[in-house]
Amino acid sequence: MEPAVLTDPNVYPDDDVIYSHLGKTRTLWDNLFNHIQSNYSTVNKEWRYYNDGKSWLLKVTQKASTVCWISIFQDGFRMTCYLPLRAEASIHSSDLPADLKEQFSSGPSYGKIRGITIVFKDESDVQAAEKLFKFKMGFK
C-alpha cells in the first residue's frame, strides 16, 4: 500500500492540498466527484483526521450510513466501501466488475463486513467506482 500523504493534522485537505498530490489522477478525481454530485445530491463529504492511521480520510455518508472512505497518496487515490457479508450473493449477481466481486469474496472479513477497494489508475476505475457507489447506495 502506498504511504499516505495527508499526515499533518494541522493542514486541512482543501482543493489546493488535494490537487497538489493527485498528479495525473486529478481528472479521475474530478470525474468521480462530478458523478457523485450529479447523481447523489444527498450525500455528505467530510474530511477527518484519524489518529490511529495518522492521516486525513474523506468519509462519504448518506444520512448516518457510511458509503465509502477515500484516501490520497502521492499521484493517486483509493476508495473503499464496506459491505456486510450477507451482500455476497447480491454482489455476484450485480454488474460490478469481476475483479471487485472476487476481491469481496476472497478478502479478509472484519466481523460481519468486507471491503472492496478501488485504486484509481484510469477511467475504467471511475466507471467501476460509479457502479460500486450505486450498489452500496441501493443495498439494504
**Tens-digit pLDDT profile for residues 26-60:** 999 999 999 999 999 999 999 999 999 899 999 99
pTM of the model: 0.94
Taking the C-alpha atoms of residue 88 and residue 92, their distance in angstroms, rounded to an integer, is 6
Taking the C-alpha atoms of residue 81 and residue 9, their distance in angstroms, rounded to an integer, is 24
- pLDDT digits over 64-103, tens only? 999 999 999 999 999 999 999 999 999 999 999 999 999 9
CA 86-88-90 angle, 5° bins = 100
Taking the C-alpha atoms of residue 76 and residue 135, their distance in angstroms, rounded to an integer, is 23
